Structure 1
Amino acid sequence: MAVGELTSARVDAWVWAVRLAPSRTAASTACRGGHVRVNGDRAKPATMVKPGDEVRVRLSRGRGELSDERIVVVRRLLVKRVSASVAVEAYEDRTPPPPPREERPAAVAVRERGMGRPTKRDRRAIERLRGH
């Protein structure tokens, strides 16, 4: 081991450094909310990780939605944010690929002839059908 090489790092700092979270605050908040697990156990922000540990991270996409879970194994410890190309080398991604999306035909809204202009309620129903 080289002089000054890390043996462990805080999970919130590591998740931020390898770019799994957009900010250190977001990483800490995810830990406190129970969205980060280290080796299957809920992790507090100060939980230490070391090479070989499995980290599962579930961060929000915005508007309260949770994204898919990322499963990574720690290869190298980092506490400072690095470029994306260096960050990818610091972990092994074991996240399963997403299931294939089902292609369904677009729904067509049909109105009877002579019904006149659609109401606001009708327009919203049409938008829902079209997936907007």
Structure 2
Amino acid sequence: MRVDKYLWCIRYFKTRSIATKACKEGKIRVNGDLIKPSREIYPMDKISVRKNQINYELVVLDTPDSRIGAKLVDIYRKDITPTEALQKLDLLKYSKDYYRKKGTGRPTKKDRRDIDDWFIDTDDHQSSDSEEE
């Protein structure tokens, strides 16, 4: 079975074209070698997948006939990803929450209208103050 099809079948990628693109970009390694999407895989091959800043390591146990359910994935692969890599994923989640709270950053349309209204109100007060003098 092709490596891109295998990674799609065991649900590491949502579509086969995304898996193919990852192979072409050098994010997939089989037995330590960079590969093309058409590379055939066999049982006991070690696959390294770079996804979301994490290097997932897995061993091929068998090849499925087609895409399988999430509960059956462990029949076809053995996940040997180091626990440090998975802990790094947790840290990334927490750091994103820490640095940027939801709703901060670039103003929304409503925020922009409120800012514009505030500037218009202050301009009206300044122009009326200068007219009185």
- Scaled by the length of structure 2, the TM-score of the pair is 0.63
- After TM superposition, list the pairs within 5 Å mapping 1:38-117 onto structure 2: 38-59=30-51, 66-98=52-84, 99=87
How high is the sequence identity, in percent, across the aligned residues? 31
Name the amino acid aligned to 1:23: T
Q: Which structure: larger Rg?
A: 2
TM-superposed deviation, 1:79 = 4.5
Q: Secondary structure at the match of 1:28?
A: helix
Measure how far apart 1:43 and its partner are.
1.3
Size of the alignment, in residue pairs? 91
Q: Taking structure 1 as reference, are residues 79 and 23 closer, same or farther at Cα in structure 2, changes over 3 Å only? A: farther
Amino acid at match of 1:21: F
**How far apart in 2 are the matches of 1:82 and 1:35?**
23
Note closer, same or farther for the CA distance 1:75–1:69 as it changes in structure 2 (3 Å cut). Answer: same
Cα drift, residue 88 of structure 1: 2.1
Question: After the TM superposition, which parts of structure 1 deviate over 6 Å for at least 4 consecutive aligned residues?
Answer: none
Measure the CA separation in 2 of the matches of 1:131 and 1:39: 37
State which of 12, 21, 45 in structure 2 corresponds to 1:20. Answer: 12
1:35 aligns with: 27
Structure 1: segments with no counterpart, 5+ residues: 1-8, 60-65, 103-129
